Amino acid sequence: MIIVPSLLNSNIYDIQENVKIAKTVGDNYLHIDVMDGNFVPMQSFGGKIVTDLKKKTDLVLDVHLMISNPELHIEEYKDADIISIHQESTKQLYNCLNQIKKLGKKAGVAINPGTPVNTLTDVFNLVDQVLVMTVNPGMLGEKFIKSTLKKIAELKQIKDSNKYLFDIEVDGNINDQTIIPCYTSGANVFVSGGYIFGDDNPEQRIIKLNVSTHLMTLFNK
């Protein structure tokens, strides 16, 4: 299991300190949401912050592109380690994922809560990660959508039966309660922002998420 703190929910003033926290008590991952105000309502970050972070840290930079026509912008995120694009954001999904691969990066594909898993059938053998949005993307504080657990379970079944190697990542109101059904449904990478950085002690929140998943691991043995 991998806990991935999301920079979107960090106060801009505290970003440097929160990067250190992700390095010290996390799993050496950092999630960076890129939003264009078009594919989703909000705007956030861009390629420069990814490049700047890569110069200063060895954290695995997990970049989530919530932008329209991502095929036009992939090169801007060449300093990321993982680049995920939305199935709904492009008519050139296969080519876009190959663009990411040609940069030597791990390629991920994301789906919104209302998008069926079977829309990804043709790219399962290409991707390194499938990101299931457990909220509608682009808004903060959205309620966890329980029906997305079925998508996670469906992906796990597809992955196991076909011996695919992709990670199953979840993002959207992941806290010490919602992480448990996500884990039991089959997810192994958990993005959390508001739960971690909305607290006065983000270190303890990361530790609590790790404890929740480790307890489930022991319980399921």
Residues catalogued as catalytic: 33, 171
Residues 6+ apart with CB under 8 A from 51: 79
Q: How far is CA 46 from CA 36, 63, 129, in A?
A: 9, 10, 21
Q: In what order do the strands lie in the sheet with 43-44?
A: 2-5, 189-192, 167-171, 129-133, 106-111, 82-86, 60-66, 29-36, 43-44
Tokens (6 digits) for 59:
């954290």
- CA–chain centroid gap for 165, Å, is 16
Tokens (6 digits) for 27:
């799993």
As a whole number of angstroms, the distance between CA 59 and CA 26 comes to 10
As a whole number of angstroms, the distance between CA 212 and CA 192 comes to 13
Residues 6+ apart with CB under 8 A from 32: 6, 7, 8, 45, 49, 50, 53, 61, 62, 63, 64, 80
